[in-house]
Amino acid sequence: MPPASTFKVVTATAAIDTGAFSPESTVDGRNDVPISGVPLQNDENASYGQISLTQALAKSVNTVWAQVAERLGKPTMGRYMDRFGFNRKPQLDYPAGEMSASGEYAGPRLIAPTSPRVDVGRMGIGQDKLAVVPLQMAEVAAAVANHGRLMAPTSRGRSSTPKAAPSTRSRRACSRS
Helical packing angle, 62-83 and 8-17, nearest 10°: 80
Cβ contact 150:135 at 8 Å: no
| % pLDDT > 70, the chain | 84
- Angle 170-172-173 from CA coordinates, rounded to 5°: 115
DSSP state of 90: -
State the DSSP string of 33-49.
EEETTEEEPPGGG----
**Smallest Cα–Cα separation from 123: which of 171, 62, 48?**
62
**Which pLDDT value is given to residue 91?**
73
Cβ contact 103:86 at 8 Å: yes
pLDDT digits (tens, 9 = 90+) for 89-112: 877 766 667 778 999 999 999 999
pLDDT digits (tens, 9 = 90+) for 72-87: 999 999 999 999 999 9
What does pTM read for this prediction? 0.85
- How far apart CA 89 and CA 25 sit, in angstroms, is 34
**Which pLDDT value is given to residue 113?**
96
Q: Which amino acid, residue 123?
A: M
pLDDT digits (tens, 9 = 90+) for 4-48: 999 999 999 999 999 999 999 999 999 999 999 999 999 999 999
Q: Is the pLDDT of residue 161 over 50?
A: no
- Angle 110-1-102 from CA coordinates, rounded to 5°: 35
Q: Is the pLDDT of residue 168 over 90?
A: no
Q: What are phi and psi of 149, to 5 degrees?
A: -90, 115
pLDDT digits (tens, 9 = 90+) for 103-136: 999 999 999 999 999 999 999 999 999 999 888 8
Cβ contact 173:150 at 8 Å: yes
- How far apart CA 138 and CA 144 sit, in angstroms, is 10
**Which pLDDT value is given to residue 169?**
46
**Which pLDDT value is given to residue 93?**
67
- How far apart CA 70 and CA 155 sit, in angstroms, is 37
Instruction: Kindly indicate the confidence band of residue 153, based on its pLDDT and cuts at 50, 70 and 90.
Output: confident
Instruction: Kindly indicate the confidence band of residue 156, based on its pLDDT and cuts at 50, 70 and 90.
Output: low
Q: What are phi and psi of 33, to 5 degrees?
A: -70, 135
Instruction: Kindly indicate the confidence band of residue 1, based on its pLDDT and cuts at 50, 70 and 90.
Output: confident
